[in-house]
Chain A
Amino acid sequence: MCNACGFPRRPGHWTEAGLATPHDRLRARFRRAAILRRVLKPYGLTVHDDGVTNGITLSTLSGASVIVDDLETLWTEAGRLAGRPIDPLAADA
Chain B
Amino acid sequence: MPDGRIRLTVLGGYLGSGKTTWLRHHLRGLADPPHILVNEAAEVPIDDLLLSAACIRVLAGGCACCTGKAQFASVLRSICDQHPRPASILLETSGLADPAALVAVIRDDPVLVHHILVTEIVVLVDALNALAQLATDPLGRAQITSADRLVLTKLDAVPALDLAGLRLTLRTLNPSAPITGAASGVVVPLPPLPEGARAVPLPALTGLDARPVAAVRLSLPADLDWAAFSLWLSALLQARGDDLVRVKGVVNSPAGRLLLQSVRRVVQSPEVLPAGHAHERDGTLVLIGRGAEEASLRRSLDRFLAP
Contact = CB atoms under 8 A, between A and B. Distances in A.
Interface of A: 10-15, 17-20, 24, 28, 31-32, 35-36, 38-39, 71-72, 75-76, 85-89, 93
Interface residues of B, number: 35
Given A11-B113, A87-B240, A39 B234 contact: no
Contact of A72 (B114, B238, B253, B260): B238
A75 B303 contact: no
Interface of B: 107-108, 110, 113-114, 226-228, 230-232, 234-236, 238-240, 253-256, 258, 260, 265, 267-270, 272, 296-297, 300, 303-304, 306
A89 B297 contact: yes
Contacts of A85: 239
Given A19-B254, A24-B254, A88-B304, A12 B235 contact: no
Nearest to A13: B269
A24 B226 CA distance: 12
Contacts of B240: 87, 89
A14 B269 contact: yes
Contacts of A15: 227, 230-231, 234
A17 B300 contact: no
Q: Which 10 A-B pairs have the closest CB atoms?
A: A18-B255, A18-B254, A12-B113, A15-B230, A75-B238, A88-B300, A87-B239, A31-B227, A71-B234, A14-B267
A88 B227 CA distance: 16
A71 B230 CA distance: 10
A86 B237 CA distance: 11
Contact of A14 (B230, B236, B296, B303): B230
Contacts of B258: 17-18
Contacts of A28: 227
A58 to B, nearest CB: 13
A36 B303 contact: no
